[in-house]
Amino acid sequence: SSYYNFRDVGGGRKKTVSFSSMPSEKKVSSAADCLAFMQGGCELKKIRPNSRVYCRFYTLDPDLSCLRWEPSKKDGDRARLDVSSIREVRTGKSTETFLHNGPLSEHLAEEAAFSIIHGDDYQSLDLVALSADVANIWVTGLRYLLGTLGCKMRSEWLAAEFAQVDEDGYGIVSEDVAVATICKLYPGIKEAKVRLRFKEMQRSKEKLTSHVTREEFQEAYCELCTRPDVYFLLVQLSKERECLDPQDLRLFLETEQGLSLATTEGCWELLRRYEPSAQGRERGLLGLDGFARYLQSPECQLLDPEHLGVCQDMNMPLPHYYISTSYRSYLLDDQVHGRADLGGLIKALQSGCRCLELGVTDGPEGEPLLGVVNKYAFLTSQYPLLVYLCHRCSPAHQRTMAQHLKNVFGSRLYTPESLPVSLGGRATTLPSPEQLKGRILIVGKKLPPEHEGSDGEISEEDEEIGGGGPLEELGVVLVVPPPSQPRRLRLHKELSDLVAIGEAGRLTSESPEDLVMFTKRTLTRVRPSSVRLDSSNPNPQGYWKGGVQLVALNQQTPGAMLDLHRGRFSQNGGCGYVLRPAVMTDEVSYFSAHTQGCVPGVPPQTLRIKVISAHNLPKPQGSGAKGEVIDPYVVLELHGVPADCAEQRTRTAAQNQDDPLFDETFEFQVNMPELALLRFVVLDDDYIGDDFIGQYSVAFECLQPGYRNVPLLGLAGDPLPHTSLFVHVAVTNRRGGGKAQRRGLSVRRVGRRGREYVTLRHTGIKVVDETFKPASAPLKEATDLREDAQVASFKEQCGLPTVAKLKQCIESLATRLQSPESTLGATMVLKEGYPCLEPLVNLSEPTRKLLTAYNTMIAAQKQLIENADAIQERINQVQREGMDFHEELSRLGEKEGLKGRKLSKAVESFTWNITVLKLRWIPWTP
């Protein structure tokens, strides 16, 4: 691979060329010969935009740093062009100067012409040689110099680093010093790996000493610390220069990394921060090592930094949020006979857990436990902490416990009179996390009426959350209504906040729409069975998709389920509260955990991930390796609604040590982005027993596009030092513009090219259906406008993938119009205020099609911009009129003779229609 060019850091990379005829007897067969010819100089014609031609004698300075020409009206210091300012070398008559010089340009030989693009404003020096061979010499030599710039910067930087540890100045250091220096310059590399390379050098050279020369130091660093994946990307971005200037970097940030507001000044600042060589920082060039450091920095992590802090609205009622919930985290081992340990409780609170269970029985007063809760309650998150009391205490101990709660928690303890709300109940809207900041809420279960006035004892079934009696009398328990019907029905008919795993699973399967409706106003908790022995965890995603806010997990039990939990709650700064999707909280909205296709009101999206490489992978911590090296592979898991759940894996990188290359692309369809979680898992194919190396789980909404590093975490959720994946992420149809999936029940294929349209459902209530009817036409128009405005066809004509940015397409178009193969060109004109392209010359068929695709895209954007608001308003008007029937829907249905299941179906169809109409149908940003 070409990245091994860096091993010969002293220069002299062999790059051969061969020309058939020469203006002199000297044969040119290598880049070095080209440079020697250029140093001797020759005459070149300089073409100016004013159609003037100047014959000048051009030479390359002996130190290869700049071009000079004579004669010139400028003094010697100004009649020069620094090689470091050259951005690109183009062959042929491809610049504006050549294209707009008309008759003059026609008499100039295409194969003898070339242009040097230079400076911050990308000026062009347009030249014509005496022959094609001479032009080839200059083009080859200049491109070679551009390629060596990065190599030279790296060589000088490594020489300077070596000089700092070469205390005697003799050009040699001990092996220990050389190893330590490389490990400092390239954090994460294994010391044994570096030491082994130096031993190999000693053996191959039959050296009698272990001392390391500067050349050996440079060679070892370049071989061990060069990331080929980053090198290939750098060359691709820098057009063979092997380093990036601020303009290159800005283009990369805009087109790949999604930073549309990137500035040249910001790129200079970034360059100075990450480029290690003084020469690079002075010249404004980012070399291979600086680029690698940037890509490994927090700025390029997969998780959007916006989500590192609280970024969601915290003023909604509590039931609008998923809440991080712990289950018996103070118990080690099993759940019945496990040893109590406060460390698990502390860790749960430190990780942002906002809902705990505390077990209390007759006996010790429990002050140490409450003290720990009080101490760590708000160190990680200021938002309210819910405490479930699990007790079977006598009235006397309940009074003691209530008094301790007041004494320990003090003003932090929520009491009913402090805020006039109750935790549960149809009549009252629950407070928001913002209103309850810094408060501890004690949650218990209110006893049935027949137990009122009793001593507070409760049944075996209800011992999980004890309440009533003295605790309630002392006013420190937020109560929820009592059980009065069988558990499954009770959940639907009344307001309970406690659901066992098995029961919740049945509800999710049998009545998913009802469960979501129930959780719109009521906090609902799912917890493992109280009688099971082990501490395994259920899949929280199965309950989150049903709307359950509090899915209790054993936070002391590592594994995939806890990984997903951490991924979910990392999307709002780790504060323990994450907003549920709007379809689960809006008063009128339709959502089913069973959904097998598109979700009404939610545009589906496509996620493409290229797994490029992994770095510094450790061996699995489990037992039993068959070999000395690992055979890693990467599994990508998408968790979400049933239609989104998928798993794909890379090939196994056999015997690839700790830095394997994968270069494999995977695609996922995401119908419910707000519920989707992506989990990367790295495993070892060569292991017996535990094959786990590392993982990283992230919410779909937190993904950053472009080239990203994925910091891998160990089994306990702690970061693995310097261990990461390198990936490329692209999301299409983000924030709108998605097509409905064929699997959706109300999607039909009609009209333009088999286009798919979402249709409204028939409710069976005449007045309601007549109200919805006017929305059919604008819905179809909106779909057509949106789909016509997609730039997929233009991207295809440009030869770019659908994930490409529009700016990349424009650049590709500009390059095609300035192709050196023929004199192509077009001019941009404004037609009714929109930028269209008109050809200047006869175009080839491919280029003509490309221009047509561009102008078609502009026309579609024009239609979208001018019509979108009016069409959207027509849809919004129908949605508002439909909502007028919401309160009296059941009465209207009964008036039409609808009962039982038919009436329920009518309500469901009404909700579906309102949800569809709420969607922002035609966002116009492509």
Q: How confident is the model at residue 191 (pLDDT cuts 50, 70, 90)?
A: very high
pLDDT confidence tier of residue 63, bands split at 50, 70 and 90: confident
Answer yes or no: is 589 within a domain: no
Largest Cα–Cα distance in the chain? Answer: 115
Q: Give the Cα separation of 833 and 539 in Å (integer).
A: 54
Q: Do 182 and 140 share a domain, yes or no? A: no
Among 128, 149, 170, which residue terminates a domain? 149
- Show which of 713, 732, 751 is a domain's final residue: 732
Is residue 7 a part of any domain in this protein?
A: no
Residue 567 is predicted with a pLDDT of 96
Confidence of residue 502 (pLDDT cuts 50, 70, 90): low
Q: How many domains does the chain have?
A: 6
Tell me if 102 is assigned to some domain.
Answer: yes
Q: What is the pLDDT of residues 573-632, one digit of tens each?
A: 999 999 999 889 888 888 877 777 777 767 788 999 999 999 999 988 765 555 567 899
**Domain shared by 565 and 612, yes or no:** no
CA distances from 143 to 35, 135, 686, 917 (A): 11, 12, 45, 57
Q: Find which of 724-738, 807-821, 827-841 is predicted with most confidence, using mean pLDDT.
A: 827-841
Helices 132-165 and 175-185, packing angle to 10 deg: 120
Residues 793 and 673 in one domain: no
The pLDDT value recorded for residue 453 is 43
**71 shares its domain with 136:** yes
pLDDT over threshold 80, residue 268: yes
The verdict on 338 and 270 lying in the same domain is no
Does residue 598 belong to any structural domain of this protein? no
Residue 454 lies inside a defined structural domain of this protein: yes
One domain for residues 116 and 181: no
One-letter amino acid at 387 equals V
10 Å CB burial of residue 684 (0-12, 13-18, 19+) is buried
Give the CATH number for residue 499. 3.20.20.190
Tens digits of per-residue pLDDT, 377-433? Answer: 999 999 999 998 876 677 777 788 888 888 899 999 987 666 555 444 443 567 899
**The domain boundary residue, chosen from 584, 614, 635:** 584
CATH number of the domain to which 712 belongs: 2.60.40.150
Do 219 and 238 lie in a common domain? no
Residue from 560, 550, 546 nearest 523 by CA: 550
Among 515, 525, 501, 644, smallest CA distance to 591 is for: 515
Which CATH number is 269's domain given?
1.10.238.10
- The predicted pLDDT at position 160 comes to 95
Judge if 350 and 455 occupy the same domain. yes
Provide the domain limits for residue 170: 151-226
Total residues belonging to the chain: 926
Domain annotation covers residue 925: no
434 shares its domain with 542: yes
2 within a domain of the structure (yes/no):
no
* CATH number (domain holding residue 180): 1.10.238
Pair 279, 349 in one domain:
no
Check pLDDT > 50 for residue 344: yes
Statement to judge: residues 507 and 522 lie in one domain: yes
Instruction: State yes or no: cis peptide before 71, omega within 30 of 0.
Output: yes
| Residue 383 within any structural domain of the chain | yes
- Ramachandran category for residue 806: left, alpha or beta (phi over 0 → left; psi -120 to 50 → alpha): alpha
**pTM to 2 decimals?**
0.77
What is the pLDDT, as a whole number, of residue 625? 53
- Asked whether residue 915 carries a pLDDT value surpassing 50, the answer given is yes
Residues 162 and 125 in one domain: no
